[in-house]
Structure 1
């Protein structure tokens, strides 16, 4: 049986953070500040502050898009019931897109970078303010029997 120490772990020699000649990045397990982070993709955005800012904008936009999809009205009411299957498939597609984007935002937040966390929360807050709070909605618009979106809310 092989001994495990700093120089020899499970038959691997050298640095325990080297894998097949590539340096592996240590993943943070607590919140941290900094631009040197990996968000969603290996090696992205890297250590460049401009790419980090772009990554934060992407996370903010994804969270905003999740909120828009949560509160949008893309379909006219199917009062006559003639196109219920097409409406159901469209609602399902919108729901799948919304859930997939929400999971991408969650995975970005799992980078434990405080900037990414604040961008995600800010995107959701801005999206809710614009699309869910009804602050910008004209009061003369009919409510269509209280229905506020095409897909059900994401709540337990």
Structure 2
């Protein structure tokens, strides 16, 4: 049987590569790079940026506060977006302003989503609380006002005709 070993015709066993038993030479993944698949509690989490909040309690509280403010800002921008859509001038400036507010609101919304994807329970609760407080402060007032059209005339129910 020829194994491509040349003209000698002898079979040569190939030994497996030697594995070092020195533990220090083995690259072990750190626990900080571990992704969670379920909610967990505690300050040892990375939110949005590598190494942030660094496991320190003060930085963790700052991170939670930042997520809370992002959620409140998203609710505030959604009200501004509705109000900018109701501007009387439907020109290019109004459309650019409306698009810019939408762009900012979507960007902040994705940052909140990425924060919640850290699977930290406190981050999730703070994001939900921020949306609730933002809704209470900004959107609940708009929800109880009569809806208006672009020309500020009240919307009435349209009669339904049966054909």
- Structure 1 and Structure 2 fold alike (TM over 0.5): yes
Match of 2:69 among 53, 56, 61: 61
Match of 1:94 among 92, 95, 101: 101
Match runs of 1:77-156 below 5 Å: 77-79=87-89, 81=90, 84-134=91-141, 143=148, 144-145=152-153
Q: 1:24 to 1:118 in 2, by over 3 A?
A: closer
> Which structure shows the higher helix fraction?
2
Q: 1:145 to 1:97 in 2, by over 3 A?
A: farther
The answer for the alignment partner of 1:14 in structure 2 is 26
| Aligned partner of residue 133 in structure 1, secondary structure | helix
CA distance in 1, matches of 2:61, 2:126: 10
- List 4+ stretches of structure 1 deviating above 6 A: none
Give the number of the structure with larger relative contact order, counting CA–CA contacts within 8 Å between residues 6 or more apart.
1
Unpaired runs of 5+ residues, structure 1, are 8-12, 148-156
Unpaired runs of 5+ residues, structure 2, are 1-15, 156-163
Return the offset for 1:15. 3.0
- Root-mean-square deviation (CA, aligned residues, Å) is 3.1
Q: 1:16 to 1:75 in 2, by over 3 A?
A: same
Return the offset for 1:108. 0.3
> Which structure shows the higher strand fraction?
1
Compute the TM-score of the two structures, normalised by the length of structure 2.
0.68
